[in-house]
Amino acid sequence: MLEQMKELARRAGEIMLRAEREELHIKNKSGEADFVTAYDVEVQNFLMRELSARFPEAQFLCEEKENEAMGKAPTFVIDPIDGTTNFIRGLRHSCVSIGYYEGGEVQLGLVYSPYSDEMFYATRGGGAFLERGGKIRPVKREDKSLSESLTVIGTSPYYKKNTGEETVRIFRELLYRTLDIRRSGSAALDLAYVADGRYDLFFECVLSPWDFGAGRLLVTEAGGVISQPGGEELPMAPVPILAGAPTAHKEFRELIGYRP
């Protein structure tokens, strides 16, 4: 299954790369900075069609469709293009994210960036890996403290009215307590980079399950920790996310705290 997911993710990436030469047909879905392009829909339809043909018993939880609450059935959790605003602006920092769940638990996860040709993937209990240009290496991050951490923060742009002040408060705290701060525009890639040790800590006030559906497994299989900021487990629903090196994750919770 993993090899087929990887193959399909690469083919989905080819659709994204093709978009640089064609019309995007942008729509605003539901609110501020909440965009969808024809390519989000095309990639999602492609993945659902191909995965359904291979695994007809599977269900789907995807960004660009109406969803019911995920149960115990085999389910693919898909973000067809994570980082849509980056994609629209030609920033070349977007990805395909696919997680596979059984019994409500993530079993396989991959995040693929067609622009860098980097495939991050993980299997439950089997480790996390990076495949790039034909080379494969284990992803295993160092345990950095909060003060040593290069931190990435998501701004929850779809929820600014409710989360803006809290995002600014957390940003201010992290600015003075960490090495430095970044904002990339793709949460799925942020989690992959946390797993790989490029970032040491990630925080966002609200993140949807398709954004973290695959990345959560990458983080834990690489030796990191991912949870809600209070330490609670992640439900398959929009929630605040904290992910990172174990020490930085613990120090964030103890020293900065979180006020929802």
Q: What is the pLDDT of residues 189-217, one digit of tens each?
A: 999 999 999 999 999 999 999 999 999 99
Q: What is the pLDDT of residue 258?
A: 62
Cα separations in angstroms, 51 against 44, 106, 217, 218, 229: 10, 17, 20, 21, 34
Rounded mean pLDDT of the chain?
91
What fold, for 146-256? Answer: D-Maltodextrin-Binding Protein; domain 2 (3.40.190)
Q: What percent of the chain lies above the pLDDT cut of 90?
A: 74
What is the arrangement of strands in the sheet containing 180-182, beginning at the earlier edge strand?
180-182, 150-153, 201-207, 239-244, 225-227
pLDDT above 60 (res 29) = no
What would be the CATH architecture of the domain defined by 2-138?
Answer: 2-Layer Sandwich (3.30)
The boundaries of every CATH 3.30.540.10 domain in the chain are: 2-138
Q: Classify strands 150-153 and 201-207 as parallel, antiparallel or unpaired.
A: parallel
Strand partners, 151: 181, 201
Among candidates 110, 157, 136, 118, which has minimal Cα distance to 2?
110
> Are 63 and 188 contacting, i.e. CB atoms less than 8 angstroms apart?
no
The boundaries of every CATH 3.40.190.80 domain in the chain are: 146-256
Whole-prediction pTM: 0.93
CA–CA separation, 21 and 197 (whole Å):
34
For the chain, give the number of residues.
260
